[in-house]
Amino acid sequence: MVQTKPTTATMISKSYDPLKLIDVDHIRFYVGNAKQAAFFYAHCFGFQIDQVSDLTSGNRQEASYLLTQGNIRLLLTTGLSEAHPASQEVARFGDGIKDIAFAVPDAVAAYEQALANGAESDHEPVEMTDELGTVVKATVKTFGRVVHSFVSRTGQYELDKVKHGGVFAPRFNGSPDLAINRYNEEHPCGLFYVDHCVANVELGKMNDWVSWYEDVLNFKLFKHFDDKDISTEYSALMSKVMDSGRELIKIPINEPAEGKKKSQIQEYLEWHANTPGIQHLALMTTDAIDSVAQLRERGVDFLTIPDSYYDIVWDRVGDIKEDTGEVKDLRLLADRDDDGYLLQIFTKPLQDRPTLFFEIICRRGSQSFGKGNFKALFESLEIEQERRGNL
Ligand code: FE2
C-alpha cells in the first residue's frame, strides 16, 4: 500500500547545508505518449527501459517510463487524463523537459532553504511510502515551464540502490523483459551522465536567471560568452554558464541577441509558446567515435556539417588522439582550449517542434563548450531553420 502525504523538514544542525546536491536524481520529460517515446529513446540512443509506473502498477494518474544509461535517468511521463498537468503542458509545448530533479539529503530542508533564498514553490513536499521505503519530493519553479525537484530517499529507494537495479519509487514495476534492452546491453552507446543542460530564456532575462541560480541554489558563474563569440552573419545569442560545483551539472543560460535574421533562441521560444525551456541536454561519452558510430547505426538524425569544416578544423584544434578520418566520417565537431580538446555533435530536434535536442560530448581535458564550433554549428543550424521557413 502506497501512502502519499505532506511532510515537514527533519531537525537539522547549523553546519548542515540543505542545498548540498548529491546527484541529478532524474530528468523528467512530459511527452504525448510515454510508451512510444520510451522506445524511441531506447532504440535511437541505447537507453534501457528500466521501470514503468502505469495502470498495471496502480498508477491511475499517469504513465511514467524510467530510462537509464550510465548515471542518466530519464523519466518520461504522459498524463492519463486531460486534467493531468503533463497533458496540458504537452498541448502547449509539445514533448520536452519539465524537471531537472536533484538528489539531496533532505528534500524538505532543501525546498525550505530554496524558498528562503527566493525561489517560488511549484509543489509542496510529498512523501511516498510503502513497505520498501520512502521517497520525498518537493519542487520549486525555475525559468519558464521548467522546475527543479528536490528528492530524498530512504530504505530500498536510496539512489545508490536505484543505480544498481533497485525500484525507483513506489508504484514502479521493475525491468520488463524487452528485446530492446537485451540489444542495448550487447550494443552499448556509452553515454554516462548529463554534462550540461541548456536553458533558453527571453531577451534581456539571462542575467536575472544567472542571479537566481547564484542566490537560490548557490551555483557559480563558470564561463561567459557574448554575442561576439556566438554569432554568425545572421543569428546570435548570449550565454552564461552556471556551475553546480562538485562536477554535478552545468546549466548554460542563453538569451537571443540581435542578428540580421532570427536567432535560433528566438525560433525555440516561438515554437515553445513564447516560454523559456530546456534547449538541449549534453550527454557525456568517454569514446566519441564508438558512441557516435553506434548512434548513427541506430539512425539518429544529426545536424549536417559541411565538408569545408574539416578543411580548416585541424589548423585550429591541432593533434588529437582519435583518427581524424573517422572524426570526419562521423561528422564530429572538434574544439580546443588551454586545458585540452573536446569532440561534440548535435542531433536535430527530437520531436516535431524545433525545440529540444541532444548533444553528445567527449572531453579530453577541455572544460569549455565548443566556442570555436559555434560559428560552424550555427551556420548548419541556419540551414535547418531555412528549411523550416523560420529564418
Ligand atoms: Fe552544449
pLDDT digits (tens, 9 = 90+) for 127-157: 999 999 999 999 999 999 999 999 999 999 9
Q: How far apart are CA 282 and CA 370, in angstroms?
A: 12
Cβ pair 58, 80 in contact under 8 A: no
pLDDT over threshold 60, residue 236:
yes
Contact 238, 230 (CB under 8 A): yes
Residue 226's pLDDT is 47
- Compute, in angstroms, the gap from residue 369 CA to the centroid of ligand 1: 6
Buried b (16+ CB within 10 A) or exposed e, 249-269: bbbbbbbbbebebbbbbbbbb
CB 77 within 8 A of CB 59: no
- Ligand 1 mean position to 346 CA, how many Å? 8
The pLDDT of residue 305 is above 90: no
C-alpha 265 – ligand 1 centre gap (Å): 13
Three-point CA angle 262, 268, 269, nearest 5°: 95
Single-letter code of the amino acid located at 32: G
- pLDDT of 382: 74
Q: Supply the pLDDT for residue 227.
A: 47
The full set of domains in the chain, from first to last, is 15-186 (3.10.180.10), 191-388 (3.10.180.10)
What is the pTM assigned to this prediction? Answer: 0.92
Structure-derived torsion over alpha carbons of residues 227, 348, 192, 39, reported in degrees to the nearest 10:
150
DSSP designation for 8: -
* d(CA 75, ligand 1 centre) in Å: 21
CA 295 to ligand 1 centroid distance, Å: 18
- In which band, very low, low, confident or very high, does the pLDDT at 5 lie, cut at 50, 70 and 90? low
Mean pLDDT of the chain: 91
Q: What confidence score (pLDDT) does residue 245 get?
A: 87
Complete DSSP assignment for 163-232 = HTT---STT-EE----HHHHHHHHS-----EEEEEEEE--TT-HHHHHHHHHHHH--EEEEEE-TTTSB-
Distance, in Å, from the CA atom of 320 to the CA atom of 200, rounded to the nearest integer, reads 32
Confidence band, pLDDT 50/70/90 cuts, at residue 229: low
CA 333 to ligand 1 centroid distance, Å:
12
Q: Quote the pLDDT of residue 33.
A: 98
Q: Which residues of 43-77 are buried (b: 16+ CB within 10 A; e: fewer)?
A: ebbbbbbbbbbbeebebebbbbbbbbbbebbbbbb
Write the Ramachandran bin of 175: left for phi over 0, alpha for psi from -120 to 50, otherwise beta: left
Give helix then strand counts, H and E, for the chain. 11, 18
14-18, 159-163, 181-185, 343-347: which range is least confident on average?
Answer: 14-18
Query: φ, ψ for residue 135 (rounded to 5)?
Result: -120, 125
Q: Which residues pair with 343 in a beta bridge?
A: 334, 362
* Ligand 1 midpoint to CA 70 (Å): 19
The 8-class DSSP code of residue 59 comes to -
Tell me how far the alpha carbon of residue 66 lies from the centroid of ligand 1, in angstroms: 24
Q: Cα separations (Å) of 115 from 8, 111, 112, 118, 149?
A: 14, 6, 5, 5, 12
Predicted pLDDT of residue 232: 53
Considering only 240-249, 255-264, 287-296, 362-371, which range has the smallest mean pLDDT?
A: 255-264
Task: Please compute the mean of the pLDDT values over residues 26-36 and round it to a whole number.
Answer: 98
pLDDT for the residue 147? 98
CA–CA gap between residue 344 and residue 320 (Å, rounded): 13
The count of other CB atoms within 10 Å of the CB of residue 375 is 15
Q: How close is the Cα of 91 to the center of ligand 1, in Å?
A: 27
Helix axes 34-45, 179-186, angle to 10 degrees: 20
Binned at pLDDT 50, 70 and 90, residue 10 comes out as: low
State pLDDT tens for residues 323-349: 999 999 999 999 998 899 999 999 999
pLDDT the model gives residue 386: 83
pLDDT tens digits for 262-294?
778 889 999 999 999 999 999 999 999 999 999
244: pLDDT strictly greater than 70: yes
